[in-house]
Every structure is written in structure tokens, then in C-alpha cells.
């Protein structure tokens, strides 16, 4: 399965609306409850970051506090689908905060959202929390890193 994590420009887990994240770190997770392997695949730039769209500039959108008119505006609703350019065939999106439009958009294309707690800071912590919290692995001893992630390489320096 492919798991996407919204990240900020400093390569930390982004805890606001994923539509306003700088990029997404994509990980592959496979195995059974006794031997789960994960590896970092790549990062994908948020299309709204590239196009300097309202999604990444508006503080209300970052905080998922859009007005009722905005929430029901077909144009705004369709803007959430732009994330799929970055997420592709992702199975899970790990996020702390998200709006109903994001939830419905992801659900429409078969992407499940897994809620991350606010204390998670880097991609490896997020993946470990997801694997344990969702019951994919029995415990941390069952999780194996296939290839070093960029976060792990940064911490080695």
C-alpha cells in the first residue's frame, strides 16, 4: 500500500489542512502483522504550492475554517481534487486536521484518511504510528525499514 504524509518546507509533518502542505512524502508499506516493511518512495510537490494557489495562501483554508458559502461552492469543492495530482494511487493520507471537503474528495477516489496526533514530527514517526495504530503490525519490533528515508538520513548528520 502507498501512504502519503503532508510535509512542510522543513520536511516535518504538516499538521494543518493537507491541501495547504508544501509537499507529500510517499511511502510504501507491505507485509503482515509479524513482518511489516516500509520504504520511502518519493516526495511530490503540492500542485497548489507550485501554482501559488489560494489553498496554500489563505489562513482560513490552512485552518479548515472556510465560510459556509465557500464550503458549498462547487469551484472550491473541485479545488480539493487537485491534490490527486500529487497523491496519485495512494491508499492512505495521514493527516492531523482536514475539512469535510477533503474527506469527501479522498473518499470519492478510495483514499482513506488516517488521523495523526499533533505530537508526530517526522515521516518515520508518522509511518510507525500509522502501522501500529491501524493494526498492520503487532508492535514496533515487527516494523523494518527497507531503505533509509530522507528524514533518517537528515538525523544521521
- The predicted pLDDT at position 128 comes to 86
For the segment 45-56, the average pLDDT, to the nearest whole number, is 74
**Of 42 and 134, which is predicted with more confidence?**
42
Query: Per-residue pLDDT tens for 70-92?
Result: 778 888 788 888 888 899 889 99
Specify the pTM.
0.84
Q: Tell me the CATH class for 2-156.
A: alpha beta
Q: How far is CA 152 from the centre of its chain?
A: 18
Query: Per-residue pLDDT tens for 116-140?
Result: 999 999 999 999 888 888 887 766 6
Amino acid at each position: 500500500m502507498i501512504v502519503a504524509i503532508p510535509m512542510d518546507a522543513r520536511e516535518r509533518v504538516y499538521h494543518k489542512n493537507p491541501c495547504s502542505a508544501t509537499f507529500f512524502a510517499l511511502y510504501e508499506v507491505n507485509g503482515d502483522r509479524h513482518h511489516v516493511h516500509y520504504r520511502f518512495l518519493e516526495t511530490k510537490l503540492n500542485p497548489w504550492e507550485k501554482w501559488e494557489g489560494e489553498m496554500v495562501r489563505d489562513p482560513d483554508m490552512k485552518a479548515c475554517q472556510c465560510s459556509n458559502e465557500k464550503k458549498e461552492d462547487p469551484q472550491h469543492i473541485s479545488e480539493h481534487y487537485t491534490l490527486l495530482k500529487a497523491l496519485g494511487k495512494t491508499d492512505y493520507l495521514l493527516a492531523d486536521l482536514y475539512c469535510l471537503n477533503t474527506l469527501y474528495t479522498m473518499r470519492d477516489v478510495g483514499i482513506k484518511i488516517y488521523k495523526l496526533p499533533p505530537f508526530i514530527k517526522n515521516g518515520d514517526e508518522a509511518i510507525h504510528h500509522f502501522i501500529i495504530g491501524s493494526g498492520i503490525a503487532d508492535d514496533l519490533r515487527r516494523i523494518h525499514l527497507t531503505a533509509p528515508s530522507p528524514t533518517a538520513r537528515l538525523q544521521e548528520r
